[in-house]
Amino acid sequence: MAETDTSGFQERFYTSSEGLKLYARDYRPSETATAGRLPVICLPGLTRNTRDFHPLALLLCEDMTAPRRVIALDSRGRGNSAWDENKANYNLAIEAGDVVTACAALGVERAIFIGTSRGGLILHLIAATRPDLLEAVILNDIGPVIEAKGLALIRDYLNSGRRPADWSEAVDIVKENHGASFTALGGEDWREMALALYRDVGGRPVADFDPAIAEAVKSVDLSQPLPDLWAQFESLCRFPLMLIRGENTSLLSKETADEMARRHPNLILQTAEGQGHAPLLHHGDIPVAIRAFLASCR
């Protein structure tokens, strides 16, 4: 079961400002096909990687009417990017800097960005520090306020210590962790999620991220209010913005989503029905909504 689809993209490597080898997938139609349309850059969640975006990236770059170049990044310590010996570098500011470096290395001066969970938090920082890179933004189940309950759930399943013996057990673990909130998913969806979460090492699935990232979540004091990013969100209000919120999410509250819409009157809110945190962007009517949003961008 360890096979993954590796068609449709180029593997690209670039180097961070301090010399760490980082990875990207580059789904690149011809320049004639894209007709000057800006690329889409995808930033994954806390322990996730480029494989989360593969089905959506294929849909967007192979679109019959308006194809776009799509770039998906593996943050340091995740997927095919190198692990950082300095574990303190797994932070939003450093990872935002890596995105800026990726844009320079891959020849992107401006783009439409999709940020899932932590990737969306990174976009809050980029909007405040490098707004020239942003044309429009899609936030996937994330906003300036993180609910402690949702972060506790992530902390608990990341640090459960359970390691699958084979791919069948990997699928079972994914379903146990997410089945209650992802009621819209079927058998093949769970298989795809397992393939995105785990790397095959000698026929055995292994979590595809530096364990230090999960360990860091344990140190967060959830009895205290978590810091918010409302000040940075104000910078996002300058751009076309779409917010995708999982119907069953525990990380992004309805109150926060409503306040985001109040502060950004033109925000487009899309609910991912039957999904939790963070929604699969190629599932249900989400691809149609994303395509419609992209059609309004240059």
- Read off the pLDDT of residues 38-79 as tens digits, 9 standing for 90 and up: 999 999 999 999 999 999 999 999 999 999 999 999 999 999
Mean pLDDT in residue range 97-117: 98
**According to the model, what pLDDT value does residue 73 have?**
98
At 298, the pLDDT band (50, 70, 90 cuts) reads confident
Given a cut of 90, whether residue 1 has pLDDT beyond it is no
| Distance separating alpha carbons of residues 250 and 276, to the nearest angstrom | 7
Dig out the tokens for 265 from the structure: 């009157």
pLDDT at 7 (0 to 100): 80
Q: Alpha-carbon distance 195 to 142, whole Å?
A: 23
pLDDT confidence of 160, banded at 50, 70, 90?
confident
Q: pTM for the complete prediction? A: 0.97
* Residue 126 banded pLDDT, cuts 50, 70, 90: very high
Mean pLDDT score across all residues of the chain:
96
Ranges of each domain in the chain: 10-147+227-295
Whole-angstrom Cα Rg for the chain: 18
Q: Is the pLDDT of residue 295 over 60?
A: yes
| Model pLDDT, residue 58 | 97
For residues 246-267, one letter each, b for 16 or more C-beta atoms within 10 angstroms of the residue's C-beta and e for the rest, the string is: bebbbbbbeebbebbeeebeeb
Peptide bond into 88 cis (omega under 30): no
What's the pLDDT at 45?
98
- What pLDDT shows up at residue 5? 66
Q: Quick check: 253 and 145 in contact, CB under 8 A?
A: yes
Query: Quick one: CATH architecture of 10-147+227-295?
Result: 3-Layer(aba) Sandwich (3.40)
Let me know the angle formed at the C-alpha of 262 by 230 and 251, rounded to the nearest 5 degrees: 55
Percent of the chain with pLDDT over 90: 92
State yes or no: pLDDT of 187 exceeds 90: no
Q: How many CB atoms lie within 10 A of CB 50?
A: 25
Average pLDDT of span 206-231: 94
Confidence of residue 267 (pLDDT cuts 50, 70, 90): very high
Mean pLDDT of 224-228: 92
